[in-house]
Amino acid sequence: MTIGAVLAHLQDDFPDLTVSKVRYLDAEGLVSPQRRDSGYREYSERDIERLRFVLAAQRDKFWPLKVIRDALDAFDRGLQPDAGPSGRPHVPAATENAEVPDAESLAQAPRVLRLTPRELAEGSGLTDAEVAELVTFHLVRPDGDGHFTESDLTVARAAHALSAYGVQGRHLRAFRLAADREIGLVEQVGGTTPEQRAQVLAQCLSLHVALVRAGLHEQ
Mean pLDDT, consecutive 10-residue stretches, the chain (219 aa), reads 91 94 91 85 90 92 90 84 72 63 71 90 95 95 94 94 92 90 83 81 85 82
Tell me what pLDDT residue 83 has: 67
110 and 25 belong to one structural domain: no
Tell me what pLDDT residue 35 has: 86
In a domain, 95, yes or no: no
In a domain, 97, yes or no: no
DSSP character for 32? -
In a domain, 114, yes or no: yes
Please, are residues 55 and 65 in contact by the beta-carbon 8 Å criterion? Answer: no
The region that residue 97 occupies, defined by phi over 0 for left and psi between -120 and 50 for alpha, beta otherwise, is: beta
DSSP character for 170? G
In a domain, 96, yes or no: no
Tell me what pLDDT residue 185 has: 84
Sign of CA dihedral 213, 108, 110, 75: negative
Q: Residue 189: which H helix or E strand, with range?
A: helix 173-189
What is the CA angle 117-100-193, rounded to 5?
80
Which residue type does 54 have? V
Tell me what pLDDT residue 117 has: 95
In a domain, 192, yes or no: yes
Q: Residue 42: which H helix or E strand, with range?
A: strand 41-42
Domain coverage including residue 31: 3-90
59 and 108 belong to one structural domain: no
197 and 109 belong to one structural domain: yes
The span from the CA of 92 to the CA of 108, in Å, is 18
Which CATH number covers residue 141? 1.10.1660.10
Label the pairing between strands 80-81 and 41-42: unpaired
Instruction: Tell which residue, 81, 76, 82, 205, has the closest CA to residue 145.
Output: 76
Q: Is the pTM of this model over 0.85?
A: no
159 CB contacts (<8 Å, ≥6 apart)?
A: 124, 126, 130, 134, 139, 167, 169, 172
Domain boundary among 69, 90, 111: 90
The span from the CA of 205 to the CA of 178, in Å, is 11
65 and 135 belong to one structural domain: no
Tell me what pLDDT residue 110 has: 66
135 and 190 belong to one structural domain: yes
In a domain, 130, yes or no: yes
CB count within 10 Å of CB 90 equals 13
Domain boundary among 37, 68, 90: 90
147 and 49 belong to one structural domain: no
The number of domains in the chain is 2
In a domain, 122, yes or no: yes
